[in-house]
């Protein structure tokens, strides 16, 4: 089962940046009370194997929950994340059924990154008499408001705030990257058609061309220390470093030119 941080229901609103936000509505839980109750039973009398396993599972879940809470809070602070949430599904080996609950808080070790979807843990009961170690794993979901397309974005279209919506998304599965801030993508150009609801990833976007087709451009030329310039019209889009066709507006001659700056090309001899 997932931890008590799961949500249900959606709310839609807009933030101060004008981007649509789709949020989950949080539900509460009584996890701490249930854990204290289970520990009280464990101290009062011996338990059957099935009850011991359930109590140990609660201890393991609490230890992993504490670790993920602390680690993800640090990650969120470093990345300036807002409204992050998480849940996990605990998986214990069969030997957990034969172990007694630990009278002390479990110690936890892991070598996996906190943003991984599947994480492995070494749980240790640090007591001299009856201590034990146990390997466990957890399937983790980390929900964060990420930028999605709010409408169809056509190839070559520049992104605006009206094209975007912030929706909760599991970042452990966003392997192609993601964006959390509208300012990081507004003004960029779609490399291909983006459907409504699609996660915005870096591979979908490109910088706007330094020169656009039909745009007036300055043509500069230099030879033997002599420099000259004239005006022309770009016949294609081009990024800095691209070779494009340009029409000289004075002579009407079409030449090859290299884009060297926004609105500026250099003739190629």
pLDDT tens, position by position, 251-269: 999 999 999 999 999 997 6
**Nearest-angstrom CA–CA distance, 257 and 269:** 9
**Nearest-angstrom CA–CA distance, 269 and 258:** 11
User: 145 with 200: CB under 8 angstroms?
Assistant: no
How does strand 107-109 pair with strand 189-190? unpaired
pLDDT over 70 at 50, yes or no? no
**Nearest-angstrom CA–CA distance, 220 and 231:** 9
Which runs of consecutive H residues, i.e. helices, occur in 115-267? none
pLDDT in tens, 62-88: 999 999 999 999 999 999 998 999 999
- pTM (whole model) above 0.95: no
**Nearest-angstrom CA–CA distance, 193 and 156:** 8
**How many percent of the chain have pLDDT more than 90?**
70
**Nearest-angstrom CA–CA distance, 178 and 199:** 7
pLDDT over 80 at 30, yes or no? no
**Nearest-angstrom CA–CA distance, 140 and 150:** 27
pLDDT over 50 at 26, yes or no? no
Domain 216-267, CATH: 2.30.30.760
**Nearest-angstrom CA–CA distance, 37 and 31:** 10
**CATH 2.30.30.760-classified regions of the chain:** 216-267
User: 53 with 39: CB under 8 angstroms?
Assistant: no
**Nearest-angstrom CA–CA distance, 221 and 268:** 8
State both tokens at 221. Answer: 């030329």
At 11, the pLDDT band (50, 70, 90 cuts) reads very low
């Amino acid at each position: 089962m997932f931890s008590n941080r799961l949500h249900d229901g959606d709310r839609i609103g807009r933030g101060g940046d004008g981007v649509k936000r789709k949020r989950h509505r949080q539900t509460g839980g009584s996890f701490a009370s249930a854990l204290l109750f289970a520990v009280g039973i464990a101290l009062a009398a011996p338990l059957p194997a099935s009850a011991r396993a359930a109590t140990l599972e609660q201890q393991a879940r609490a230890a992993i929950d504490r670790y993920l809470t602390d680690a993800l809070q640090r990650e969120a602070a470093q990345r300036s994340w807002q409204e992050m949430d998480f849940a996990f599904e605990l998986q214990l080996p069969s030997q957990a059924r034969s172990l007694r609950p630990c009278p002390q808080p479990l110690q936890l070790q892991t070598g996996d990154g906190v943003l991984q979807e599947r994480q492995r843990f070494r749980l240790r009961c640090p007591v001299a008499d009856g201590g034990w170690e146990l390997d466990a794993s957890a399937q983790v979901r980390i929900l964060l408001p990420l930028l999605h397309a709010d409408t169809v974005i056509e190839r070559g279209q520049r992104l605006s705030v009206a094209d975007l919506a912030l929706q909760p998304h599991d970042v452990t599965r966003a392997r192609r990257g993601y964006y959390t801030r509208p300012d990081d993508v507004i003004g960029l150009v779609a490399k291909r058609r983006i459907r409504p609801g699609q996660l915005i990833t870096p591979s979908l976007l490109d910088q706007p061309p330094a020169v656009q087709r039909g745009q007036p451009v300055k043509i500069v030329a230099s030879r033997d220390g002599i420099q000259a310039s004239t005006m022309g019209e770009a016949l294609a889009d081009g990024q800095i470093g691209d070779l494009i066709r340009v029409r000289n507006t004075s002579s009407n001659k079409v030449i090859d030119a290299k884009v060297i700056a926004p609105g500026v090309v250099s003739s190629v001899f």
